[in-house]
């Protein structure tokens, strides 16, 4: 297995989907950390300084957009990719207007390998 010197934080409240993401990214050589909600995600990002955060938008305690805003306020420069089933254009455009260099993936539109490939490209990996 190739070891990729990149740490990703996955913030996802669906435990089954989180497990699939953790296993999939881990098997591709990523250093994977995770959180189950936005508050925990914010704390993990502050502590671990991941290269990229893959975050759901709709979560308990603090949603992904609010977490991303707080990360920006704290000058944490991790790249962010929202992974969501939200197809509400207004909600997604709010995220993209508020946070610079944001990207998003609609969960139901892509297979796990395509999600990993998008993350690799966002990190500048081949």
pTM for the full model?
0.88
Query: How confident is the model at residue 13, as a pLDDT?
Result: 92
- Residues 6 or more apart whose CB falls under 8 angstroms from that of 32 comprise 7, 8, 10, 21, 22, 25, 26
Domains of the chain: 7-121 (3.40.50.2300)
Instruction: Give 3: exposed, middle or buried? Use CB within 10 Å, 0-12, 13-18, 19+.
Output: exposed
pLDDT at 26: 94
Q: What is the DSSP letter of 49?
A: -
pLDDT of residue 93: 67
Query: Which stretches in the chain have pLDDT values below 70?
Result: 1, 3, 86-102, 104-105, 108-110
């Amino acid at each position: 297995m190739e070891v990729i010197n990149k740490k990703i934080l996955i913030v996802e409240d669906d435990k089954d989907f989180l497990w699939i993401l953790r296993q999939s990214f881990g098997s591709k050589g990523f250093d994977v950390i995770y959180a189950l909600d936005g508050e925990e995600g914010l704390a993990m990002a502050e502590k671990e300084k991941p290269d990229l955060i893959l975050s759901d938008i709709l979560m308990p305690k603090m949603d992904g957009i609010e977490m991303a805003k707080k990360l920006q306020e704290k000058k944490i420069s991790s790249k962010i990719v929202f992974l969501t089933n939200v197809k509400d254009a207004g909600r997604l455009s709010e995220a993209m207007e508020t946070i610079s260099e944001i990207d998003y993936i609609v969960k139901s539109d892509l297979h796990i390998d395509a999600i990993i490939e998008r993350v690799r490209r966002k990190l500048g990996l081949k």
